[in-house]
Chain A
């Protein structure tokens, strides 16, 4: 690799974002050859001393990386609802985080056409010493909302979150459900083109759950593109119209929702049967 090329690679961005959607294009998200590698944490060189010693010894362990996503490509059309299936640790959340911009992929290209609302960690931006009111502004700023917008929507947020007078209390005194309610109320304010959801369809008590479900349905009905990670197969079947299935970082299957869901469920059941058989064999061996 020539030096110039190396520099260009170092400076280059793997993610292209168009916040104002290109109306002519019917593609919302295009992922090409996406690869993500994480360094194994116990191999991470954290101190200078270690770095120098290992540079001299030439054993920085470049190979000790875990591929969380391996050469994944898929396209999501505008208005399409895509479900992402996979067992724990398959790389689903990492994929969503990359699309949301939290992680920079090791390799590959992503094109995003439209404004994203990531509903990943709803209360991550809270400062626990702030009152609910101050947190609305802080959290809104972190989600790239403007002050005028928040001023205008403030009453709506307070009303929607059902917090009442609690809005003036510090968030550290909130219950988990109250925090989630406030987070949900802020995060769903924007009018996104693409909605990224990671298992958060149940927020708060039964009353709020119904309300938040309705709000999400309302958002989805508007022709918004949705990326949904969920372990509830029924939910995926109900919401999505297409599905991808990821296992150990590789894309195994892509297609119509019921088709992929059926295959996924079958595989899960099969894995269970296989495990049971193995157990039985073991027991038989042990006790004759």
Chain B
């Protein structure tokens, strides 16, 4: 069972589709909410924070959205993977499905959302009259790196959360801290210089910075991307190892 790639791919698309329909099943607008949600919060944040930081940041809506797409992808992707095993407990206990399919499908689903919010980013760039710099092509690199990071963190969390439920609650608090530690809605300049070094160790913040640099027409710094790559690949290695060891025993913990 599931030994060919096409069978796995088909299962993956079906699981992603299931996630998509399940999330918006009773709403009128359905999947359009994936569009409106980031757009509306962007408007709120722009209205509120433009007054505070508007002078320091060029084109605040774009600054905010470029950070937000990365942060949301990381936040929801890792959380989705974390809860995927527990959420599908009923299924896992009754049918044989390769265990990694669930975290992977959850992350793929969030990737679809990420692509949608990227469309909004481009739309807002267009509306606000921002220039489309050729450096935007480089944006692919931080995006790939953040995907690797999400897979790593997601796999680790999926195992941990199945063994200990309170990892989930703990992680919710952690992402809140991460939100403030990522300079999502404020410019990094307002942070005292001595604390900025801590920010530069945060891979999510680094990925955001790289993406923002691409959007604003600056080539992203090589050393930062190397740091994210090292961090992400290490995490992914740990994640895969952990999932290989504990993944097969997960059904016993549900």
Q: Is the CB of B93 within 8 A of A102?
A: yes
> Which range contains the number of B residues in contact with the other chain?
35 or more
Which chain A residue shows the least CB distance to B167?
A48
Q: Is the CB of A142 within 8 A of B7?
A: no
Q: Is the CB of B22 within 8 A of A125?
A: no
Q: With an 8 A cutoff between CB atoms, is B3 at the interface?
A: yes
Q: With an 8 A cutoff between CB atoms, is A16 at the interface?
A: no
Q: With an 8 A cutoff between CB atoms, is A154 at the interface?
A: no
Give min CB distance, A18 to chain B, whole Å.
10
* B244 / chain A contacts, CB cutoff of 8 Å: 11
Which chain A residue shows the least CB distance to B101?
A142
Which chain A residue shows the least CB distance to B12?
A141
**What is the interface of chain A mostly: helix, strand, loop, or mixed?**
loop
Give min CB distance, B230 to chain A, whole Å.
24
Which of B13, B25, B164, B165 has most A Cβ within 10 Å? Answer: B164
Which of B1, B92, B167, B244 has most A Cβ within 10 Å? Answer: B1
Q: With an 8 A cutoff between CB atoms, is A51 at the interface?
A: yes
The CA-CA distance from A100 to B93 in the complex, in Å, is 11
Q: Knowing A47-B165, A129-B22, A130-B21 are in contact, say whether A144-B7 is a contact too (CB < 8 A).
A: yes
Q: Is the CB of A48 within 8 A of B166?
A: yes
Q: Is the CB of B18 within 8 A of A124?
A: no
The CA-CA distance from A38 to B248 in the complex, in Å, is 14
A142 contacts which of B11, B90, B248, B253 (Cβ < 8 Å)? B11
Near B by CB (< 8 A), chain A positions 179-195 give none
Q: Knowing A116-B1, A121-B95, A125-B91 are in contact, say whether A48-B164 is a contact too (CB < 8 A).
A: yes
Give min CB distance, B196 to chain A, whole Å.
32
Which of B90, B91, B244 has most A Cβ within 10 Å? Answer: B91
Q: With an 8 A cutoff between CB atoms, is B249 at the interface?
A: yes
Count of A residues near B, CB < 8 Å?
38
* B90 / chain A contacts, CB cutoff of 8 Å: 124
Give min CB distance, A25 to chain B, whole Å.
18
Which chain B residue shows the least CB distance to A50?
B164
Q: Is the CB of B248 within 8 A of A137?
A: no
* B50 / chain A contacts, CB cutoff of 8 Å: none
The CA-CA distance from A51 to B17 in the complex, in Å, is 37
Give min CB distance, A30 to chain B, whole Å.
18
Q: With an 8 A cutoff between CB atoms, is B251 at the interface?
A: yes
Q: With an 8 A cutoff between CB atoms, is A120 at the interface?
A: yes
Interface string of A142-175 (1 = CB under 8 A from B): 1111110000000000000000000000000000
* A120 / chain B contacts, CB cutoff of 8 Å: 94-95
Q: Is the CB of A39 within 8 A of B7?
A: no
What are 10 contact pairs spanning A and B, CB under 8 A? A19-B1, A45-B164, A47-B164, A102-B95, A103-B251, A115-B1, A118-B95, A129-B21, A138-B14, A142-B14
With A38-B252, A137-B14 given, name 20 new contacts (CB 8 A): A10-B245, A47-B165, A48-B166, A48-B167, A51-B164, A102-B96, A103-B252, A104-B249, A104-B252, A120-B94, A124-B91, A124-B94, A127-B18, A129-B25, A130-B18, A130-B21, A141-B10, A141-B11, A141-B15, A146-B10
Q: What are the nearest 3 A-B pairs in CB distance?
A: A101-B96, A124-B94, A141-B14
